[in-house]
Amino acid sequence: MMEIGIQLYSYSGTELSFEEKLRHAAQAGYSGVEFAGDYGGMTAPELRSRLLSLGLWTRSAHVGLDRIGPELPFLAELGVRYVICPYCVFPDMDAVRRVAQRLNTLGEYAKQYGIRTGFHNHIDEFYKLDGTYILDHLLALTDPALVSFQLDCGWAACAGVSPEAYLAEHAGRFVSIHIKENLGRAVPCAARKKEDPFVTSEGRVLSKEEADARGEAIRHANVKMGTGNLDWRAVAAAALRQNPDTVFIVERESAYAETAKAVCIAEDVAWLKKNL
């Protein structure tokens, strides 16, 4: 049976305490958790002990680029293997190069802690700068010996990219995937200020109606497992072919229908255990 973890950001919008999130994850059937900036105010030994008592592993954590360095000692003591930058803004190639260099530098520093740095995509990393996806640029500009990646399959599919094909194209670079059921399509757009228009890779400016529709598609893309447009058996197989040690993490952005988010999270892992 495949081991599946839960990104704790998934519990945003619920009223569960940190302890309740951990207990819910364990009781729902998840094998581990991925942290997202909140460690419950515990020391690393305290948190590691609590995870062990619940039968949960932790292999990765999302940490902002400016916080990765300071948090490495704590994460190493906790037992984290991958520290992943969850988001950056890329207005131009200079920004891409700066982030890639920072990931390389942090990757070299993280080696002493037995940790690898990484990067996690959203939709707009599939916007093209100089004719190439931003995510492709990051892959090319980072050292494979130092920097790994986590493919958010739901956001890739929402951008019109096949997760299976992308994993195969960049075999060996992905240490983890985010499982996120998708039923939406949103064209990737350039980084922008709030008041600026949305612009596609082809230079087309979206009308207000198109921009509003894009926002709605993104907000409602994350649907119930098994009702979207991804073949999760094929995705899982592709992930394991390119890296037999791929870490599988569910991330639920939003609830579906009138279902409470915690219930959605439990239903996600139940569906995956039954269907993968």
Torsion of CA 150, 173, 57, 25, to 10 degrees: 30
What is the reported pLDDT for 257? 85
- CATH number of the domain where residue 117 is located: 3.20.20.150
CB 44 within 8 A of CB 71: no
Range of the domain at 30: 4-189+218-275
> Scanning the structure block, which residue is given the tokens 């956001």?
155
> What total number of domains does the chain contain?
1
Instruction: Let me know if residue 76 belongs to a domain.
Output: yes
Instruction: Let me know if residue 213 belongs to a domain.
Output: no
Instruction: Let me know if residue 121 belongs to a domain.
Output: yes
Alpha carbons 195 and 228: distance in angstroms, whole number: 32
Residue among 121, 132, 193 at smallest CA distance from 157 = 121
For 165-196, what is each residue's pLDDT tens digit?
999 999 999 999 999 999 999 999 999 999 99
**Residue 161 exposed, middle or buried by CB count within 10 Å (0-12, 13-18, 19+):** buried
Instruction: Let me know if residue 94 belongs to a domain.
Output: yes
Alpha carbons 106 and 100: distance in angstroms, whole number: 10
Instruction: Let me know if residue 210 belongs to a domain.
Output: no
Instruction: Let me know if residue 148 belongs to a domain.
Output: yes
Which residue numbers in the chain have pLDDT < 70? Answer: 1
For the beta carbon of residue 132, count every other beta carbon within 10 angstroms.
14
What is the reported pLDDT for 1? 59
Alpha carbons 165 and 122: distance in angstroms, whole number: 17
What is the reported pLDDT for 2? 82
Report residue 15 as tokens. 């009223």
Instruction: Let me know if residue 138 belongs to a domain.
Output: yes
Instruction: Let me know if residue 130 belongs to a domain.
Output: yes
